[in-house]
């Protein structure tokens, strides 16, 4: 075992991901993303839009550059999300004007299609939310895979001084990956409540199914508490807190 002690470094920065992921969305999917962004549905929260923004930022643009129509739709969606999430724009016309600044003749076609296709329905919203969540979790796994591999390489080569150091590094790396996956997992997030028939019935059904599922786990918003509970509140158990 080597006596040289390694200094742990935070290597992940999802504002600037370790590498891009080669997702290939077709024209129909990109159009659906755009309709999702411009929807007035209460089922789509800022967190849902933030997840979509993270996914598109991680997506490798090189896959789209050879196809002008796909590339323009991808960048139009990203500009629209930037207007909402970064610039704080809420007016539909203002957001469209911001996205149109790319000065691309295809933007007018995209906006025309947006108006012609109409409002996205609840089934499509649930599909997009799930698709984004699954792909974003996959991205985090691929990104953390490289980070965790380096930690296990140190484990294999004995590049640590104390066992407690390498154990803690493995724990931290795995916990950080699980935290990022949980953040992207829409199943672990409270859905927006609405009395709209299309939303209400589905939301109540999903809530009842989750609550009665014996395998369900309630994960809290506190990282340390989740680690103590490993990984959250389990059904059929009694928890007693003393203070």
CA 120 to chain centre: 20
Final residue of a domain: which of 122, 147, 181?
122
Q: Are residues 236 and 199 in the same domain?
A: no
Final residue of a domain: which of 89, 122, 155?
122
**Is 74 within a domain?**
yes
Residue entry with tokens 């990104």? 143
Q: Are residues 33 and 76 in the same domain?
A: yes
Q: Are residues 31 and 89 in the same domain?
A: yes
Query: What is the enclosing helix (H) or strand (E) of 30?
Result: helix 27-37
Distance between CA 145 and CA 69 in Å, rounded? 33
Q: Are residues 190 and 105 in the same domain?
A: no
Domains of the chain: total: 3
Average pLDDT rounded to a whole number, residues 11-36:
75
| Per-residue pLDDT tens over the stretch 188-209 | 554 455 565 555 665 676 667 6
Task: Identify the domain containing residue 145 by its residue range.
Answer: 130-215
Q: Are residues 136 and 84 in the same domain?
A: no
Q: What is the pTM of this model?
A: 0.65
Q: Are residues 36 and 118 in the same domain?
A: yes
DSSP reduced 3-state for 51: helix
Tell me the pLDDT band of 140, cut-offs 50, 70 and 90.
confident
Q: Are residues 211 and 223 in the same domain?
A: no
Q: Are residues 134 and 112 in the same domain?
A: no
Distance between CA 98 and CA 87 in Å, rounded? 10
Instruction: Please check the confidence at residue 233 and state whether its pLDDT lies above 90.
Output: no
Final residue of a domain: which of 88, 122, 156?
122
| Torsion angle in degrees (nearest 10) through CA of 154, 155, 160, 163 | 160
Q: Are residues 177 and 193 in the same domain?
A: yes
Q: Are residues 204 and 231 in the same domain?
A: no
């Amino acid at each position: 075992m080597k006596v040289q002690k390694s200094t742990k470094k935070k290597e992940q920065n999802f504002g600037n991901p370790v590498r891009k992921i080669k997702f290939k969305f077709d024209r129909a999917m990109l159009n659906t993303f755009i309709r999702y962004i411009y929807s007035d549905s209460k089922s789509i929260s800022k967190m849902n839009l933030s997840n979509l923004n993270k996914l598109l930022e991680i997506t490798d643009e090189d896959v789209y550059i050879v196809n002008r129509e796909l590339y323009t739709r991808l960048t139009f969606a990203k500009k629209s999300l930037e207007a909402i999430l970064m610039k704080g724009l809420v007016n539909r016309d203002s957001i469209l004007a911001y996205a149109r600044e790319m000065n691309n003749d295809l933007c007018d076609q995209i906006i025309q299609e947006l108006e012609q296709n109409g409002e996205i329905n609840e089934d499509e919203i649930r599909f997009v939310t799930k698709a984004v969540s699954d792909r974003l979790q996959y991205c985090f796994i691929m990104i953390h895979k490289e980070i965790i591999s380096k930690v296990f390489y140190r484990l294999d080569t004995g590049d640590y001084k104390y066992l407690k150091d390498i154990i803690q590094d493995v724990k931290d790396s795995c916990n950080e990956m699980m935290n990022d996956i949980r953040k992207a997992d829409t199943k672990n997030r409270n859905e927006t409540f609405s009395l709209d028939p299309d939303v209400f019935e589905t939301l109540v059904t999903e809530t009842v199914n989750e609550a009665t599922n014996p395998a369900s786990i309630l994960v809290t918003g506190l990282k340390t508490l989740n680690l103590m509970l490993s990984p959250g509140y389990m059904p059929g158990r009694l928890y007693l807190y003393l203070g």
